[in-house]
């Protein structure tokens, strides 16, 4: 483990080490135990978690389809297991995670600095795409084309269309949007600032990061309030908060912000640190909600499309139709499937499923990545079940820096279009997601009858849900074709 302090995984009593494997396996088992005891036992018996984790994460979705109560029970039990197991490690050793918030006089206090932009608020929704900035009818045509291609769900086009129809919705002056992970490529920060919003921005204390963010803010229309340490250095040298190590200080700072809050979770880190920072965000969220109440705090999340989701029957029908119409693939898929032992170019679904189960997990991303993202899904489900406002949206596959630095994944994305999957540029994806956040804040994001429908609503999955083929069965071929085109 990279850093043994702050929010950490527990020590394994057998090995004496902090085991991400033992913790992940136990959390999944705990989440399943009440609803699916057989599935819980299967997870506990998994001896090769790093390679064999996927069926158990899939079972978390399948077991939740039996009833809305089952889905919410899985979410709540998974959350409680993570909070019970993760630890707070200080100089005097490991303690329960909740001890991170103990006021022992040693926790630093963060002040605030506000940077105000000089631009004029943009009251027209526009989305950058293929070298243009689309708005009005041009944006509607692009949304319709995405729906026809199966790139986004029809409900996504409808939701963005409502924002186009109501440009005054872009005025978010009645909210303070807390962007955790302010520098994230998929985050809404720059769109919100362009529309004139008041944003509270949290990210690591890195001067170059804050120099860039402050410079962007000064040219746009909104304002950014930053957590800062005391001192005489420039603001960018004192700004930021480390959620993993300064959890109590950042939590108190967020809880003390003015206005009705929307806490947006856009954090990301590599490997096991991704789970640690995601747990820190969730602990912060619980404390801020306890301090201010659900009526005063909304939550926002972006889900990865490379996960397991229950999807509407219309997405299944689109995929089945695409499978039947792909003439060039018909010649190749039988010999390829034969040679590969059935691993290549499998159907995405059995015809007639409603809902279907889409499994777009990229195995190279690993169980820690999936656990961190599942934590966010669980919090969204539980909070909505308690009556809280939630904006949860599946974002499209996107060429972010964290993706393209993985050569295999970058190659697969380069060849994905050959299988009906569109990979978005960051500017297109984050603007589209920001528009969906505006939609949810203005409509109240009412709950659907089933939690899986809440997750699927207005999804921009890039075609992973509607592709003719099981995404993982086409990923290797897409990578080969992507490498060939790059050469």
Q: Which H or E run includes 132?
A: strand 132-135
Burial of 401 (0-12, 13-18, 19+ CB in 10 A): exposed
For residue 466, give the nearest of 229, 212, 151 by alpha carbon: 151
Report which of 29, 28, 32 is spatially closest to residue 63, judged by C-alpha positions.
Answer: 32
CB 365 within 8 A of CB 389: no
C-alpha pair distances (Å), 31 with each of 73, 329, 350: 8, 40, 27
Give the largest Cα separation in the chain, rounded: 71
Contact 9, 2 (CB under 8 A): no
pLDDT value for 334 = 59
d(CA 198, CA 189): 10
The conformational region for residue 458 under phi > 0 = left, psi -120 to 50 = alpha, else beta, is left
pLDDT for position 329? 57
Instruction: Provide the token pair at 131.
Output: 């070298």
- Report the DSSP pairing between strands 390-394 and 297-303: parallel
The list of the chain residues with pLDDT below 70 reads 1-3, 103-107, 326-343, 484-487
| Distance in angstroms (rounded) separating the CA atoms of residues 409 and 474 | 12
């Amino acid at each position: 483990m990279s850093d043994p302090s702050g929010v950490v995984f527990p020590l394994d009593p057998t090995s004496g080490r902090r085991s991400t494997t033992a913790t992940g396996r136990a959390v999944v088992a705990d989440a399943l135990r009440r609803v699916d005891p057989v599935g819980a036992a299967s997870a506990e018996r998994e001896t090769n978690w790093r390679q064999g984790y996927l069926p158990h994460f899939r079972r978390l979705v399948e077991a939740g389809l039996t009833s809305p109560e089952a889905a919410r029970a899985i979410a709540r039990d998974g959350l409680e297991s993570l909070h019970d197991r993760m630890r707070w490690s200080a100089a005097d050793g490991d303690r329960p995670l909740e001890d991170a918030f103990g006021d022992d006089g040693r926790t630093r206090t963060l002040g605030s600095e506000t940077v105000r932009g000089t631009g004029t608020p943009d009251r027209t929704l526009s989305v950058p795409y293929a070298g243009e900035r689309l708005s009005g009818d041009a944006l509607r045509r692009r949304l319709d084309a995405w729906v026809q291609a199966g790139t986004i769900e029809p409900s996504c086009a409808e939701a963005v269309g409502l924002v186009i129809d109501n440009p005054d919705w872009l005025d978010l002056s009645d909210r303070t949007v807390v962007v955790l992970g302010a520098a994230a490529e998929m985050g809404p920060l720059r769109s919100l600032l362009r529309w004139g919003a008041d944003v509270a921005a949290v990210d690591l204390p890195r001067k170059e990061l804050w120099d860039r963010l402050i410079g962007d803010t000064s040219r746009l229309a909104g304002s950014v309030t930053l957590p800062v340490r005391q001192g005489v250095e420039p603001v960018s040298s004192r700004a930021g908060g480390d959620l993993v190590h300064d959890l109590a200080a950042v939590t108190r700072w967020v809880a003390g912000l003015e206005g009705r809050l929307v806490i947006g979770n856009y954090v990301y880190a590599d490997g096991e640190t991704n789970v640690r920072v995601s747990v820190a965000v969730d602990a912060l969220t619980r404390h801020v909600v306890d301090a201010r109440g659900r009526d005063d705090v909304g939550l926002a999340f972006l889900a990865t499309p490379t996960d397991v989701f229950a999807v509407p029957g219309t997405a299944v029908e689109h995929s089945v139709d695409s499978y039947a119409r792909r003439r060039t693939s018909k010649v190749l898929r039988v010999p390829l499937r034969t040679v590969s032992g059935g691993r290549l170019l499998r159907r995405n679904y059995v015809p007639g499923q409603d809902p279907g189960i889409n499994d777009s997990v990229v195995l190279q991303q690993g169980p820690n990545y999936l656990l961190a993202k599942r934590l966010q899904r669980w919090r969204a489900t539980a909070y909505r079940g308690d009556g809280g406002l939630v904006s949860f949206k599946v974002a499209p596959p996107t060429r972010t820096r964290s993706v393209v630095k993985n050569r295999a994944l970058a190659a697969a994305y380069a060849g994905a279009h050959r299988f009906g999957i569109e990979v978005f540029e960051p500017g297109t994806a984050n603007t589209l997601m920001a528009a969906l956040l505006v939609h949810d804040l203005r409509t109240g994001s009412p709950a659907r009858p089933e939690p899986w429908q809440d997750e699927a609503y207005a999804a921009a999955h890039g075609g992973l849900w509607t592709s003719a083929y099981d995404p993982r069965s086409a990923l290797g071929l897409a990578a080969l074709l992507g490498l060939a085109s790059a050469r």
